[in-house]
Amino acid sequence: MAGIETEARLVAAVSSIDLAAVVAAAPAIEVWCQHLDPIQFGSNTGWTHPATAIERGASGTLINHTEHKVSHEHVAALLEQVPDGFSVCACAADIDEARALAALEPTFVAIEPPELIGGDVSVTSADPSIVSGTAAAVREVSQAVGILCGAGVKTGADVAKAIDLGTSGVLLASGVTKADDPQAALHDLVSKL
């Protein structure tokens, strides 16, 4: 991001409509889709094919976010369809769902309790045991799957706590998009790393 020097991996997850514009405007930033569908070309109004997203510069995607839940079969089919090296972050609402998604071997599993998404209290403070419990559950299933947490994450202290609880990072939106000064919010988020 402009003006932010960090070793942290920063990814922008954007609407498929905005992919090409964001990739063109910020070529140094890794850009993912907010959702993809495991479809073939043909009659698929309202669905997004992975190849379309890749052609527009996406290098990964979120899937199963609480705002767009899908079946685990949908996630598995998507994982089979995307090419090697394409990142997939499967979102989970609880530890059991995180464990089940980890068995599919996405790049990341992100724990995000729905009731905390977009709120003012970070999951790392409101329910640290769901973060550490998810980390333990995912590790029981796979050593390869990365672990993220989200929901209410807004500060560098939240990020540091998430890492202390066993994650490799965070997933967030409103902590930056709703901030009065998004640039300052980004600086704070990476300040404790």
Active-site amino acid positions: 65, 112
Cα separations in angstroms, 94 against 35, 91, 155: 20, 9, 22
How far is the C-alpha of 38 from the C-alpha of 143, rounded, in Å?
A: 25
Q: Which tokens is 62 given?
A: 């979120």
How far is the C-alpha of 80 from the C-alpha of 73, rounded, in Å?
A: 11
DSSP H or E run through 32: strand 30-33
How far is the C-alpha of 22 from the C-alpha of 8, rounded, in Å?
A: 19
Surface-to-core class of residue 87, CB atoms within 10 Å of its CB (0-12 exposed, 13-18 middle, 19+ buried): middle
